[in-house]
């Protein structure tokens, strides 16, 4: 019989952490181990769900340190964008559901107030955290919720106007507030802009700053030098650029740069500033996006977003596809137009890959601008380019265009400037959920005088719409298309310029006409097949334009059919509402026309697959079929 020594592995520390309060019992050494386990758990979870990986891996140590030092949920940690919050979710009572991230009924991929008291402020769009944290800080000062407010904002998000509006206000108000600038020298793509260069200079020069600079700033926070953490902090502060930074000029105490992966630096620093800060403090931490997972660290996007993957190899699951993505169709069509017209320029707000403009940047680098996360500026910059005689394509996701709405109205539409808005991710987007749904652009653009609003029914239509936009010099024009792949239709050699305000009849039928605006057309055609089998033959129209409407076509259909149904991938107030107004104005309803609108429901739809979301929104083929039968008064056998 052999004598065996039992080497039972110690219980992972993560298993003992159910809530952040459990971190208070851990030694600093144990916190190191916890960070390692948290990183492994994050990688494992995202390998199963897909999602935002790189940003979370970059803030593992920061997450541990913040939760170890601050007292959440009394203290509020506000993660900017929220795409880096998976480690935070694991530490705040959601580990048991972490493998449901971004799936139907599962955890959101962002922070969400309704999900946890540890998510004091929801996000998804960037650069809101400092404003929100300042709101919490001032609420506290005025007798509202107690506790500290800590905004954690990335270098990419820091480039947005909103972040500076908040710094400006916070520096003036002068109240205790913490901003952690998580500088990983990455946005989704490599960051652009002068601010990014400034931050890089700060930490390139930081280690060589001398003590006299320190004396001006954060050294004032230090407790008595006999306290061990403070001594460590003081040593570190010697090497930091604490005086004379932009942030100091704005009224913040600046501390940094500090290695955001070194808990031996982070913990004492945070403890010290928490104990001593009286006003606004900006802590500049330098991290690596994708830290600790080779495939992410090596990837061009540092693992920003990933499909499910094999942890050992990093190989991502790829869905098979027979059709190109709308984004790539747009990008190729734009490059084609740009190759024949050197006044065509393109603008993206930090989404060169997401909008496909990387292709334009490769072919025509001088005519393609990545302005950083700055949608408002992107719109007005495009307006200026148009006023200066260029033909700008301002390519934004529908959801991010929301941030530039006043600029669309005030700088573009009122001046009738020919900015071409290429609106990607129109409609429901899936796993990113409600914050990223492209639900409102039809309504908020089509109500603007002089704005032309188109939606592509398929990828061939998109090519024509790019050509139409390129040719349209009379005023602003927008065309929208969804996330994901096209339908696999035959592609035209070259885009044709469409007649403004004219739709196309796809199938002539009788009794009921379905007016489709955008890519629901495929579902409409599926519904038509089912209806034909029931002996109902609907007319199907691809409206192409929500503004101007094809009045002649719509009125003809209304007068020759018993019923008319509109369908669009947008909220109420868009295409269907405009058609309703036309019909009402022309007295068509007086003649007894039956009319229905199929729009997104008046709710914010949570993350799921796009197909499931449209099913829940009752906008799939069976719903269209049902709507047609209902409006015609035909009894429908109950749906399976
Ligand atoms: C208003 C807005 N525009 C664009 C985006 C898309 N977006 C999400 S994360 C991101 C990059 C953020 O970079 P950074 O703040 O440095 O965070 P990191 O991913 O590097 O941690 C971008 C452009 C967004 N979420 N919100
Ligand atoms: C967090 C964020 O806003 C982006 O990363 C977004 O998730 C990108 O979405 P797409 O995958 O549609 O480009
Ligand atoms: Mg970054």
CB of 406 closer than 8 Å to CB of 81: no
Model pLDDT, residue 256: 86
Ligand 2 site, CB within 6 A: 52, 81, 83, 188, 305, 354, 425, 429, 432, 483
151-155, 179-183, 207-211, 595-599: range with lowest mean pLDDT: 207-211
Model pLDDT, residue 215: 33
Closest residue CA from atom 10 of ligand 2: 354
From 248, 375, 459, 568, active-site residue:
375
Ligand 2 atom nearest to CA at 188: 5
Could you tell me which residues are annotated as the binding site for thiamine diphosphate?
83, 124-126, 156-157, 184, 293, 375
Residue 401 Cα to ligand 2 middle (Å): 14
pLDDT digits (tens, 9 = 90+) for 302-321: 999 999 999 999 999 987 77
Does the annotation mark 403 as catalytic? yes
CA of 301, nearest ligand number: 1
Confidence of residue 205 (pLDDT cuts 50, 70, 90): low
Mutation to probe ligand 2, out of 51, 436, 482 (largest number of atoms < 8 A from CB)? 436
Euclidean distance between CA atoms 188 and 558, whole angstroms: 48
CB of 280 closer than 8 Å to CB of 253: yes
Q: Which ranges of 341-412 does DSSP label H, i.e. alpha helix?
A: 352-355, 357-363, 375-387, 398-401, 405-407
Residue 188 Cα to ligand 3 middle (Å): 7
Is the ipTM higher than 0.90? The answer is: yes
Euclidean distance between CA atoms 438 and 400, whole angstroms: 9
Ligand 1 atom nearest to CA at 436: 25
pLDDT at position 624 over 50 = yes
Residue 265 Cα to ligand 3 middle (Å): 20
Question: For 619-635, b where at least 16 C-beta lie within 10 A, e where not — what string?
Answer: bbbbbbbbbbbebeeee
Model pLDDT, residue 10: 78
Structure tokens at 71: 């007292």
pLDDT at position 586 over 90 = yes
Q: What is the mean pLDDT of residues 365-393?
A: 98
Centroid of chain to Cα 313 = 28
Write down the domain spans for the chain: 13-297, 326-480, 504-632
pLDDT digits (tens, 9 = 90+) for 28-69: 999 999 999 999 999 999 999 999 999 999 999 999 999 999
Does the annotation mark 504 as catalytic? no
Give the 3-state secondary structure of residue 179.
Answer: strand
Q: What is the mean pLDDT of residues 189-210?
A: 76
Per-residue H/E/C for 293-308: CHHHHHCCCCCCCECC
pLDDT at position 2 over 50 = no
Q: What is the mean pLDDT of residues 80-104?
A: 98
As to burial, measured by CB atoms within 10 angstroms (0-12 exposed, 13-18 middle, 19+ buried), residue 612 is middle
From 89, 102, 234, 289, active-site residue:
289
Structure tokens at 70: 């601050």
H or E element that contains 41 = helix 28-49
Q: Looking up tokens 């405009």, which residue turns up?
A: 578
Other CB atoms within 10 A of residue 75 CB: 20
Query: Is it true that domain 504-632 has CATH number 3.90.1200.10?
Result: no
Mutation to probe ligand 1, out of 53, 83, 195, 373 (largest number of atoms < 8 A from CB)? 373
pLDDT at position 421 over 80 = yes
From 39, 140, 234, 403, active-site residue:
403
CA of 355, nearest ligand number: 2
CB of 578 closer than 8 Å to CB of 534: no
Residue 55 Cα to ligand 1 middle (Å): 10
Q: Which ranges of 364-477 does DSSP label H, i.e. alpha helix?
A: 375-387, 398-401, 405-407, 441-446, 459-471
Share of the chain above pLDDT 90, in %: 87
Model pLDDT, residue 236: 56
pLDDT digits (tens, 9 = 90+) for 323-354: 889 999 999 999 999 999 999 999 999 999 99
Ligand 1 site, CB within 6 A: 55, 58, 81, 83-84, 125-126, 154-157, 184, 186-188, 289, 350-351, 373, 375, 400, 403
**CATH number assigned to the domain covering 13-297:** 3.40.50.970
Q: Which residues does 191 contact at the CB level (< 8 Å), separation at least 6?
A: 155, 156, 159, 185, 350, 372
Query: Is it true that domain 326-480 has CATH number 3.40.190.80?
Result: no
pLDDT at position 7 over 90 = no
Same fold, 326-480 and 504-632: yes
CB-based neighbours (< 5 A) of ligand 3, an ion: 154-156, 184, 186
Euclidean distance between CA atoms 352 and 369, whole angstroms: 9
Instruction: State the chain's mean pLDDT as an integer.
Output: 92
């Amino acid at each position: 019989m052999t004598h065996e020594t039992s080497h039972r592995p110690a219980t992972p520390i993560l298993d003992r952490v159910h809530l952040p309060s459990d971190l208070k019992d851990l030694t600093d050494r144990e916190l190191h181990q916890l960070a390692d386990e948290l990183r492994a758990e994050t990688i494992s979870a995202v390998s199963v769900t897909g999602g935002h990986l790189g940003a979370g891996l970059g803030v593992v140590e920061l997450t541990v340190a913040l939760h170890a030092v601050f007292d959440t949920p009394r203290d509020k940690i506000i993660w900017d964008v929220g795409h880096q919050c998976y480690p935070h979710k694991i530490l705040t009572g959601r580990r048991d559901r972490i493998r449901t991230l971004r799936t139907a009924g599962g955890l959101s991929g962002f922070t969400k107030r309704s999900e946890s008291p540890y998510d004091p402020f929801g996000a998804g769009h960037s650069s809101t955290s400092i404003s929100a944290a300042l709101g919490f800080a001032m609420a506290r000062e005025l007798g509202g919720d107690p506790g500290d407010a800590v905004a954690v904002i990335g270098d990419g998000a820091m480039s947005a106007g909103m972040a500076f509006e908040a710094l400006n206000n916070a520096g003036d108000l002068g109240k205790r507030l913490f901003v952690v600038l998580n500088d990983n020298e990455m946005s989704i793509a490599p960051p652009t802009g002068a601010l990014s260069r400034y931050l890089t200079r700060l930490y390139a020069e930081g280690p060589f700053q001398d003590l006299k600079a320190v004396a001006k700033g954060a050294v004032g926070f230090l407790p008595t030098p006999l306290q061990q953490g403070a001594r460590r902090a003081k040593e570190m502060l010697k090497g930091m650029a604490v005086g004379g930074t932009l942030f100091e000029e704005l009224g913040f105490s600046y501390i940094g740069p500090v290695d955001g992966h070194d808990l031996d630096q982070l913990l004492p620093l945070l403890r010290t500033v928490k104990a001593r800060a009286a006003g606004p403090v900006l802590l500049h931490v330098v991290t690596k996006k994708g830290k600790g997972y080779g495939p992410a660290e090596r990837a061009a996007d540092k693992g920003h977003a990933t499909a499910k993957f094999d942890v050992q190899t990093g190989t991502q699951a790829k869905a098979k596809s027979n059709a190109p993505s709308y984004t790539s169709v747009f990008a190729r069509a734009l490059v084609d137009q740009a190759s024949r017209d050197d006044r065509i320029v393109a603008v993206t707000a930090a989404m060169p890959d997401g909008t496909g403009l990387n292709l334009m940047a490769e072919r025509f680098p001088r005519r393609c601008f990545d302005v950083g996360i700055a949608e408002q500026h992107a719109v007005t910059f495009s307006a200026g380019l148009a006023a200066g005689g260029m033909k700008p394509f301002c390519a934004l996701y529908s959801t991010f265009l929301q941030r530039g709405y006043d600029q669309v109205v005030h700088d573009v539409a009122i001046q009738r400037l020919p900015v071409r808005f290429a609106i990607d991710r129109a409609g429901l987007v899936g796993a990113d959920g409600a914050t990223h749904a492209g639900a409102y652009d039809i309504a908020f653009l089509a109500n603007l005088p002089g704005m032309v609003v188109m939606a592509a029914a398929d990828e061939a239509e998109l090519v024509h719409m790019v050509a139409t936009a390129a040719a349209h010099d009379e005023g602003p024009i927008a065309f929208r298309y969804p996330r994901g792949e096209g339908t696999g239709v035959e592609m035209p050699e070259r885009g044709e310029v469409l007649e403004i305000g004219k739709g196309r009849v796809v199938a002539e039928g009788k009794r009921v006409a379905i007016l489709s605006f955008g890519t629901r057309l495929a579902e409409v055609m599926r519904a038509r097949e089912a209806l034909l089998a029931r002996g109902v033959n609907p007319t199907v129209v691809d409206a192409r334009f929500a503004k101007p409407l094809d009045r002649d076509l719509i009125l003809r259909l209304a007068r020759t059919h018993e019923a008319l149904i509109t369908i669009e991938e947008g909220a109420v107030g868009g295409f269907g509402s405009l058609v309703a107004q036309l019909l009402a104005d022309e007295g068509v309803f007086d003649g007894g026309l039956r009319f229905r609108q199929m729009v997104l429901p008046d709710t914010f739809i949570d993350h799921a697959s796009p197909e499931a979301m449209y099913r829940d929104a009752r906008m799939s083929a069976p719903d269209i079929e049902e709507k047609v039968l209902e409006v015609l008064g035909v009894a429908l056998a109950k749906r399976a």
